[in-house]
Structure 1
Amino acid sequence: MDTKQKTILVADDDKAIVDSISAILNMSGYEVLNVNDGTSVLQAIKAQPDLVLLDIQMPGHDGVAVCKQLKRQASTKDIPIIFLSASMDVARKAQESGADDYLEKPFDIDALKDKIFHCLNRSRAAS
C-alpha cells in the first residue's frame, strides 16, 4: 500500500497526543490533518480523509456523536474510524457507534500503525 497518498484525520483535545501521533504518521509517509474538537472533525471531514483517528471525549460534539453522524452520511460512511480513548468502555462505545476499531490510551505506537494499516486495507478491499 502506498501510504504517501493516504490522509489521516487526527482528532483529540490533547495537543501533545495530536502532535506525537502526527509526527509519527508524517514520518511513516501519511498526510495528516489535525483538529481538537468534534465540531472541527465535521468541518475537516470535507477533505475526505482516508481514515479518522477519533478521541471519544472532546469538547463540543464527543467522538461517539461524531462517529454516528459520519457513519449515517453517504459521503463519509465508508471512511474507517478508529477510536482512541482512555474510557473504560471504549470497546462498547466503538461497537455501538459504528467505529471500525479502537485503541485504549495509553497505546503502543506500533499497535496504532498496525490498526491503521489493517483498516486502510479493509477499506481499499471493499471499494
Structure 2
Amino acid sequence: MTKRIHIVEDDEDIRYIVCYILTEMGYEVTLADSISDFRRQQAEDFKPDLLLLDVMLPDGNGLDLCHELKKSPATQEVPVIIMSAHATEDQSIKRSGAEEFISKPFNLDDLTDLISKHLS
C-alpha cells in the first residue's frame, strides 16, 4: 500500500521540489499552501501517513497546527516533521510535539532519510 504524505508549505518552489522527489520515491503526496487549505483537505477525510509542516504559514503557525493535531485522537499517531528557516529544533519540537525537525535550507537526502525512518 502506498504511503501518503501531506506537505503544508507556502513556498511554491519547496512544495514542488519536495513533491517531485517524494512522488519519484513512490509516495502519494498531497499539497497545501496554508492551514486553511490543509483543513479543507483534512475535512475530505484524507489521512496521511506523515506530515511535513512549515512553521511560518500565511494564515497561522505550523507549530500550533502540529500541537493541535497531536492532541487529537484521530491524528496524534501521525508522524510530523517540522521545517523552518527561523525556528530552532528544541523550540519547535517542545512546542509542537513533532517527531522531527529539519532546518531550511535542507539537504534533500536528509529529508528523505527522516521520512523513510518514520514510514518504514
Which of 23, 29, 43 is the equivalent residue of 1:26?
Answer: 23
Query: Are the aligned partners of 1:68 and 1:98 in contact in 2 as well (CA < 8 Å)?
Result: yes
Cα deviations by residue, 1:30-85 (Å, 9 ceiling, x for unpaired): 00000001122233333000000000000112101110110111100100000011
Pair 1:98 & 2:90 matched: no
Structure with more of its chain in helix, by fraction: 1
| Structure 1 unaligned spans of 5+ | 122-127
Question: 2:6 maps to which residue?
Answer: 9
SS in 2 for 1:9: strand
Judge conservation of contact 1:42–1:66 (CA < 8 Å) in 2. Answer: no
The correspondence of residues 4-83 of structure 1 with structure 2, limited to 5 A, is 5-45=2-42, 46-83=45-82
Give TM-score, length-normalised by structure 1: 0.87
Task: Give the paired residue count.
Answer: 118
Unaligned runs of 5+ in 2: none
Instruction: Name whichever structure is richer in strand by fraction.
Output: 2
What SS does structure 2 have at the residue aligned with 1:5? coil
Aligned residue identity for 1:11:
V
